[in-house]
Amino acid sequence: MESPAQKHTHAFQAEVKQILHLVTHSLYSNKEIFLRELVSNASDACDKLRFEALDNAALFEDAPNLEVRVSYDKDARTLTISDNGIGMSADEAVQHLGTIAKSGTREFMAALEGDKKKDANLIGQFGVGFYSGFIVADRITVESRRAGLPAGQGVRWSSEGTGEFEVETIERAQRGTDVILHLREGEDEWLAPWKLRSIIGKYSDHISLPILMRKQQWDEEKKEQVLTDEWETVNKAAALWTRPKSEVTDAQYQEFYKQLSYDSEPPLAYTHNRVEGRTEYTQLLYVPAKAPFDLWNRDKRGGVKLYVKRVFIMDDAEALMPVYLRFVKGVIDSADLPLNVSRELLQESRDVKAIREGSTKKVLSMLEDVAENDKDKYAAFWKEFGAVLKEGLGEDFQNQERLAKLLRFASTHADEGVSFADYVGRMKEGQEAIYYITADTLAAAKGSPQLEVFRKKGIEVLLLTDRVDEWMLSHLYEFDGKPLTSVAKGAVDLGKLQDEEEKKAAEAAAEAFKPTLEKLKAALKDRAKDVRTTTRLVDSPACIVVDEGDMSAHLARLLKQAGQGAPRSMPILEVNAGHALVKRLETGEHFDDLAHILFDQALLAEGGQLEDPAAYVRRVNALLAG
């Protein structure tokens, strides 16, 4: 008995239209994924019901056993996925099946363009799983009733997956949702029970709800298998993480990861533990092999799902993992938290704090293990996630030392993969500090004049070019008792590394240069805080350094790019008194031009920009013209 309510036609949101077009026209491989998506939506709907019912047990009505049923009708050529979960009201059906909540269309299209196989696997990643039904169906009908609403407020949603969909109110006694796929021409393979069972086994074994299909029976007269009225469970229905480690194969861990992350690549590493003691919980945590497209979005929802005694609670539990480990995916199942734990409660709970600390430590040991036992794998990890891990140096003081050991750098000795331990192992006799330079690019760092004396003496310098490096360095001062020292800050002090003769020669040269130095200071008094002679230069005439405690030029540039005007203090100009160009100053000819050119060139060499390039050109030309 249908209510007299009218059918309403709605247009899909523009983004949905685009997605539907892509789905039906370009996804040819891995079509079977649609079943995984629809089963996972059914399972999500059951999780949501269970969660809402924590506060309102009446929502269970008289059917507390949550389940998913998959059935088909050969004559009608339909395949139906049913659940008795939360269901949808008419408004929700319009909203959830007609628009895309996360606006991932652009990323989806970009991913699809880059994907040669046009793999349907992509679809779940972008929160558009429902529409995958249209890969095999030319009409989808959804019949649903939201838990708690009367039978008269069921809804039927229907669409051919083109521009629009229809919605009408129906009478529906059954709580939950039926998704009915009217199969396209040529898509009859989805009407074969063995096929459906094998896909469910492949993708949905770990769904913790039973997935039911009708039992078959041999019919002597018809000489074929026929469906009976009896239903049987076709998945294992045991949450993978609750099984003992020894009973789970590597392939199962990998498959679970795929479902959890929608990542097409296998994970880099995983760890599965049951933690006992004051707080009891199970953790199954994965480090992906590839960074997601939104890695830099620090606000995105976390990859770790929280369960309490196998009941799904939430999947954006930032409280469970520090921000700098936002790439970790997995499941944490607590035995202690109350089932109705709220987001606010999560932030304050001591148990959650213990879980977070324990899980952080586990991830770090997993990474340490990879770093120690598989250098190539760790290098691959570092390339994808190293810059994110660096955020941890300032965010997680408790683990700062462990994190510092996990850092990898480029240096004057190797373009990548240098750890602090490697560096310390190569330190020269008498060397007390770990030297580094920050720059915008590796080329700029390598070409920096400040490195010259270090090169000459064979002292290694770390080359830091990530945006986050400056920030990291404002929290990390030393490693293994050795101070981290910028080669571009303050006067160079090679301490015991400088040999006596060199020192004396430098002092003599500086003494001789003194009168010229005073003139130079006067000529550049509006641009340089100080001018002094240096021993750090070998081939270059001059370089810019900043005073101890002043902001580095690189950081000042980063802040400027970020739109934050930073008060930049005047730099110090250091000159190489032995350089021919500097010696020319002593003649007094074109003194002013030469002084400014030295300063401008030093600025350019460290990656800076000239405030008045035209003046620079004018001075150079004046000099060239003699």
Contact residues for ligand ADP, defined by CB under 6 A: 37, 41-42, 44-45, 83, 85-88, 96-97, 127-130, 177
Cα(459)–Cα(451) distance, integer angstroms: 9
The label of the residue with tokens 């008194």 reads 577
Q: How many residues bind Mg ion (CB under 5 A)?
A: 2
- Which secondary structure element, helix H or strand E, spans residue 544, and what is its range? strand 542-545
Shortest Å, Cβ 494 to ligand ADP: 59
SS3 of residue 456 by DSSP: helix
Q: Where are the alpha helices (DSSP H) in 233-311?
A: 250-261
Stretch that binds Mg ion, among 127-135, 137-145, 415-423, 589-597 (CB under 5 A): 127-135
In the complex, the smallest distance separating the C-beta of residue 201 from Mg ion, rounded to whole angstroms, is 20
Q: Which residue is nearest to ligand ADP (CB)?
A: 129
129 binds Mg ion (CB under 5 A): yes
Closer Cβ to Mg ion, 138 or 315, answer by number:
315
129 vs 161 by CB, closer to ligand ADP: 129
Which is closer to Mg ion, CB of 41 or CB of 283? 41
CB of 42 to ligand ADP, least distance (A): 5
Closest approach of Mg ion to the CB of residue 40, in Å? 6
Q: Which is nearer to ligand ADP, 155 or 517 (CB)?
A: 155
Among ligand ADP, Mg ion, none, what does residue 288 contact (CB within 5–8 Å per kind)?
none
Q: Which is nearer to ligand ADP, 13 or 242 (CB)?
A: 13
Q: Nearer Cβ to ligand ADP, position 39 or 213?
A: 39
Contact 329, 237 (CB under 8 A): no
Give me the phi and psi of 179, to 5 degrees please.
-110, 115
How long a stretch of residues is the chain?
Answer: 626
Closest CA to 133 of 195, 205, 203, 40: 40
Among Mg ion, ligand ADP, none, the one that 585 touches (CB under a kind-dependent 5 to 8 A) is: none
The smaller minimum CB distance to Mg ion, of residues 27 and 406, is found at 27
Q: Minimum CB separation from ligand ADP for residue 152, in Å?
A: 19
| Minimum distance, C-beta of residue 1 to Mg ion, in the bound complex (Å) | 32
Choose between 99 and 242: whose C-beta lies nearer to ligand ADP. 99
User: At which residue do the structure tokens 């921000």 appear?
Assistant: 323
**Residues 180 and 43: beta-carbon distance below 8 Å:** no
Inter-residue contact 247 to 238 (CB < 8 Å): no
**Rounded CA separation 139/157 (Å):** 11
**Partner whose footprint covers residue 86, from ligand ADP, Mg ion, none (CB < 5 to 8 Å by kind):** ligand ADP
| 601 binds, options Mg ion, ligand ADP, none, Cβ within 5 to 8 A by partner type | none
Candidate segments 39-47, 69-77, 200-208, 258-266, binder of Mg ion by CB under 5 A: 39-47
**Nearest distance from residue 15's CB to Mg ion, in Å?**
16
Smallest distance from the beta carbon of 97 to ligand ADP, in angstroms?
Answer: 6
Return the HEC string of 132-144.
HHHHCEEEEEEEE
Cβ proximity to ligand ADP: between 122 and 556 the closer is 122
In the complex, minimum distance from the CB of residue 88 to ligand ADP, in angstroms, rounded to a whole number: 5
Residues 602, 449: Cα–Cα separation, whole Å: 8
Instruction: Please give the Cα distance from 53 to 55 (Å, whole number).
Output: 5
At 283, list the tokens. Answer: 């953790």
- Of the candidate spans 122-130, 307-315, 448-456, 468-476, the one that interacts with Mg ion by CB under 5 A turns out to be 122-130
Mapping DSSP to helix (H, G, I), strand (E, B) and coil, where does residue 455 land? Answer: helix
Q: Are 415 and 442 in contact (CB under 8 A)?
A: yes
Find the shortest distance in angstroms from Cβ 285 to Mg ion: 23
CB 261 within 8 A of CB 303: yes
- Give least dist CB 209 to ligand ADP, A: 12
**Which residue sits closest to Mg ion, CB atoms considered?**
129
Answer positive or negative: Cα dihedral of 91, 164, 83, 283. Answer: negative
Beta carbon nearer to Mg ion, 41 or 399: 41
Q: Which of 41, 208, 334, 576 binds Mg ion (CB under 5 A)?
A: 41
Smallest gap from Cβ 463 to ligand ADP, in A, equals 42
From the list Mg ion, ligand ADP, none, partner contacted by residue 439 (C-beta under 5 to 8 A by kind)? none
Binding-site partner at residue 85 among ligand ADP, Mg ion, none, CB < 5 to 8 Å by type? ligand ADP
**Residue 234 interacting partner from Mg ion, ligand ADP, none (CB closer than 5 to 8 Å by kind):** none
Q: State in angstroms the smallest separation of the CB of 41 from Mg ion.
A: 4
Angle between helices 350-373 and 375-395 (to 10 degrees): 150
What strands lie across the sheet with 303-308, from one edge to the other?
Answer: 269-275, 281-287, 329-334, 303-308, 311-314
Between 23 and 453, name the residue whose CB sits nearer to ligand ADP: 23
Q: Which does 42 bind (CB under 5 to 8 A by kind): Mg ion, ligand ADP, none?
A: ligand ADP
Phi-psi label, residue 176: left if phi above 0, alpha if psi -120 to 50, beta otherwise: left
Interacting stretch for Mg ion, rule CB under 5 A, among 70-78, 128-136, 467-475, 606-614? 128-136
Nearest to 553 by CA among 454, 448, 434: 448
Q: Which helix (H) or strand (E) covers residue 617, if one does?
A: helix 613-624
**HEC secondary structure over 564-607:** CCCCCCCCEEEECCCCHHHHHHHHCCCHHHHHHHHHHHHHHHCC
Q: What is the residue type of 18? A: Q
Burial of 532 (0-12, 13-18, 19+ CB in 10 A): middle
Give the residue with the Cβ less far from Mg ion, 97 or 528: 97
Of Mg ion, ligand ADP, none, which one sits near residue 32, judging by CB under 5 to 8 A according to partner kind? none
Positions that interact with Mg ion (CB under 5 A): 41, 129
